[in-house]
Amino acid sequence: MELEPTSTNAQQQVVSKKEPIADSNILNSTACAIIGEPGSYSHKACLSYFGDDAAPVTINSFKEVFAAVKNNTVSYGVVPIENSLTGSVHENYDLLQNYNLKIIGETTIRIKHALITHPNTELSAVKTILAPAHVIAQCQNYLVQMTTTEILPVRTGVCAVKQAQALDPSVAAIGPALAADIFAMAVAHESIEDNPLNYTRFAVIAREFKGHKQVKKTFIIFTTGNRPGALLEVMQVFSDHHINLVKLESRPVLGKPWEYMFYAELEADIADTLSNPVISALSKKVETLKVLGRY
């Protein structure tokens, strides 16, 4: 639903929870594009939402994930939109608008970093640990105890596990526990991160809203006139209709320097009918309004 203004070609691999890579030219109705390799946190998020019968399709970039959904190569995409420690993933909010896709669901997973070794390997035998630089920084309390171990940075947690598996048992990795399962490695210690309150929220995207499931949230983008009190008037609409605003951010309007749009997440389904009084009231207070999520 949208109110108008009032004035690739990616290499793809279908993967499962147990198999590293399972090539397929036939994508079923649960085919879901994710970024990265099998075993990543995006892979885990996909399984969390769709279950073990999901068919994740690994893609190299967020832009290619959105393109795959837009071009009907897959039915869904799963992309991170917010982390409890680092905030919003603005690139994906912008891509959501640029590709005119919809958020039709969400799932939140805790980011747990695990020390992953070769099976039956004692920790005393580990001489090298591979891990992404930001993960090394997030596991300092654990790693400081390993004074005789060399810590080497790599690109991603899945890469760390994959590379460690190809080397001798003296090399371990820090990465997602799902990657240990996929690459036949062992989880020596799980949840070794310094801060246990590290969560990432993932959006499930599609070309259009699907089904008639109960909707608890609406995600909108809107612009207001450049005048005092314009944003306050929009907030008053939510207040008048007893709608809780759980997220509000401003983003630059592409191609229009110093002009801004607002992303808002509401704890309500404001777009269930065209005659909805909230939509009607909002349309009188904004210049543009687009509903990008119902979930």
Concatenate the DSSP letters of all residues of 56-118 into one string. EEEESSHHHHHHHHHTTSSSEEEEEEEETTTEE-HHHHHHHHHTT-EEEEEEEEE---EEEE-
| Bridge partners, residue 115, by sequence | 174, 189
The alpha carbon of residue 109 and the mean position of all alpha carbons in its chain are separated, in whole angstroms, by 10
pLDDT reported for residue 226: 84
> What local confidence, expressed as pLDDT, does residue 25 receive?
36
CA-CA-CA-CA dihedral for 20, 207, 295, 92, to nearest 10: 70
pLDDT digits (tens, 9 = 90+) for 151-195: 999 999 999 999 999 999 999 999 999 999 999 999 999 999 999
Which are the contacts of 26, defined by CB distance < 8 A and separation ≥ 6?
none
What pLDDT sits at residue 258?
Answer: 84
The dotted CATH code for 8-110+198-206 is 3.40.190.10
What pLDDT score was predicted for residue 10? 38
Burial code of 158-172, b = ≥16 C-beta within 10 A, e = fewer?
bbbbbbbbeeeeebb
Q: Any idea where the domains of the chain sit in the sequence? A: 8-110+198-206, 114-189, 218-294
CA-CA distances (angstroms) from residue 235 to 100, 137, 152, 230, 274?
A: 25, 39, 49, 9, 20
- Mean pLDDT along residues 91-110: 94
CATH class belonging to 218-294: alpha beta
Residue 118's identity, in one-letter code, is H
Residue 271 confidence (pLDDT) above 80? no
**Per-residue pLDDT reduced to its tens digit, 246-258:** 999 999 887 888 8
Closest CA to 111 of 141, 92, 86: 86
Token pair belonging to 101: 């896709």
Q: Matching CATH topology for 8-110+198-206 and 114-189?
A: yes
- In 3-state terms the chain splits into helix, strand, coil percentages (rounded to 5) of 25, 30, 45
What is the rounded distance in angstroms from the CA atom of residue 237 to the CA atom of residue 240?
5
The topology (CATH level 3) of 114-189 is D-Maltodextrin-Binding Protein; domain 2 (3.40.190)
Using the structure block, give the residue that is written with the tokens 């605003």: 245
